Chains A and B, each alone.
Chain A
């Protein structure tokens, strides 16, 4: 399957292991990635807070670039990109008049956004396009007995109407289904659909880090070996900032946080190093036996 691939900013900035892991698992999933390397930042909700039309136009440009490729759909690997882009797309698709105005701005470089583009996070794509049966069949090293806590990120679970979450497409349960398909054990905990706090880390660091620390603590109390997230911004607060979050909540946590493609990659037989797991701030020693580069839970 060929997809127009939007990696986002953070996966090429402070979480390069995510972009790298995605590139590694793509061929194993028979995914051909056409990278949208000319597209701009989705705005992460901040640009639309500043000026809605600006965020809508920048994302319309991204959608138009995706529509120029021969990809079947557009794929992203960031909950925040998914949410921010879906919000813009909702407005663009709601009004022909507004769309025409935005397209007028894009006309300068010969681009036009037409309705009908499908934009899916890797998580949605795994379940809805590739399918869990196919994924299960591709597993070479099942995550047996590995206890994995899902962490979704706000932008991919709310608002439910905009994101198309309903009884037919329970997208707010997909992480659990993927973990199961990979052979892991799902650990549900109170904070799994809550906010990591990242958006206010510069405005109110204590509240921000308290959120990250509490959810990680909840996961630990539920005996998770690690947490997995489809959102690199959550990863920044949960992994990069975990030492600071530990200080705010006053407890040691040491919870490894994996990007979704890393967890998939481990089950598909890739080595932790290929997936960039050594780059995390919290070493995933509980997940990976470093001496043999085999998922510890599998045993010998």
Chain B
């Protein structure tokens, strides 16, 4: 058994009702290195200052109460070990702050109602069943059809992903990673009868699924491996490809135009991608009024780029493309893959990795929960 050693915690203190500015308070606690940040905070509270505020309950990474930022990164205080946090602390002091993107109520307690729960409620977080009144018997589902939603169901509503969502930081109205993952949980549930309506709602909302910048922050933030961003990509896939929802945010058109251009050329052609994303997925897209407006507004930028020689006129008009033979191979890949009766998706959260699988980036995988 390891002996207790000293750790110094630097806690962000703030009481909005006091009228005083936020400040940092340092406390040195003594605990075994494998104990949690939460254990450390509770000891500081017991020994030095009973007024330190933090929410906690289960202390086992299940209740989702103790979301905080540790050394600038979101996570649960109860499942972050002191020794690991110390390793990440640049100056040897473990820094604990309240989560971001949500107002602080006191110290490490944020207002989850004002942001997180409001967004969760916005996606109708319950099953909308078919029956009017009480069904005669229970609704039986095929076991395999529920496997797909288990990753989204692993969410414990701690708010860590919401805390550091970079889209929400720039657009507070963004539905956000946690609510979107919750939405996928019902969109992919075979018992739900409102899947199309849910998808159309989230695709048409200017702050819905197409407002995610694909920054991976929520994937690293989540203590339970939910990978909310991946659930958002699944929502987009279902909305655009399965239901053909052409949204007003250009989400579907952008994706369709991207795929068509790579299919035709093997490479991306930015000068065609933009107008097609606004005006529709064909060469004529740029003559659509919506595309015309955008192109006109971006004219000063494009002109400057042309004048500086950043964008060569030939590239702007004709674009780059692969040699004919390679374009043929790329098109054959599109035909083969898109011609399959069902779209294939390998979710490593569910499938795990082969035992002999060498990890990407030249590193062996660390168990089955590779995200």
Interface residues of A (CB under 8 A from B): 9-10, 12-17, 37-38, 40-41, 43-54, 56-58, 61, 83, 86-87, 89-91, 93-96, 98, 101, 105-106, 108-109, 115-116, 118-119, 154-155, 158-164, 167, 194-195, 197-200, 202-204, 206-208, 210-211, 214, 236, 240-241, 243-244, 278-281
Contact yes or no, B337 A57, CB < 8 A: yes
The stretch of B48-56, B74-82, B107-115, B340-348 in contact with A is B340-348
Question: With A211-B166, A278-B309 known to touch, is A54 a contact of B337 (CB < 8 Å)?
Answer: yes
Contact yes or no, A14 B249, CB < 8 A: no
Interface residues of B (CB under 8 A from A): 87, 166-167, 169-171, 174, 206-207, 210-217, 219-220, 233, 236-237, 240-241, 249-251, 254-256, 258-259, 262, 266-271, 274, 277-278, 298, 300-301, 304-305, 308-312, 315, 319-320, 322-323, 326, 329-330, 332-334, 336-338, 340, 343-346, 348, 351-354, 356-363, 365-366, 370-371
CB-nearest residue of chain A relative to B266?
Answer: A40
**24 A-B contact pairs sorted by A residue (CB < 8 Å):** A9-B268, A13-B268, A13-B270, A16-B312, A37-B322, A40-B262, A46-B255, A47-B259, A49-B255, A53-B337, A93-B359, A109-B329, A115-B358, A154-B215, A164-B363, A195-B217, A200-B213, A204-B207, A210-B171, A211-B166, A211-B170, A241-B301, A243-B304, A280-B310
Contact yes or no, B360 A93, CB < 8 A: yes
Complex Cα distance A108/B366, Å?
A: 34
Contact yes or no, A50 B240, CB < 8 A: yes
CB-nearest residue of chain B relative to A106?
Answer: B333
Contact yes or no, B370 A94, CB < 8 A: yes
Picked from A15, A48, A101, A204, the residue with its CB within 8 Å of the CB of B211 is A204
Complex Cα distance A14/B337, Å?
A: 29
Picked from B211, B271, B358, the residue with its CB within 8 Å of the CB of A207 is B211
Complex Cα distance A202/B206, Å?
A: 12
Complex Cα distance A87/B366, Å?
A: 15
The 7 closest A-B pairs by CB, nearest first: A158-B216, A164-B361, A94-B353, A90-B360, A9-B268, A195-B215, A89-B360
CB-nearest residue of chain B relative to A87?
Answer: B360
Min CB–CB distance A217 → chain B (angstroms): 12
Residues of B within 8 A of A203 (CB): 210-211, 249-251, 254
Min CB–CB distance A66 → chain B (angstroms): 14
Complex Cα distance A12/B322, Å?
A: 12
Complex Cα distance A61/B308, Å?
A: 35
Complex Cα distance A145/B298, Å?
A: 36
Question: With A49-B233, A95-B346, A95-B353 known to touch, is A16 a contact of B310 (CB < 8 Å)?
Answer: yes
Complex Cα distance A162/B312, Å?
A: 36
Contact yes or no, A54 B338, CB < 8 A: yes
CB-nearest residue of chain B relative to A65?
Answer: B326
Complex Cα distance A211/B340, Å?
A: 39
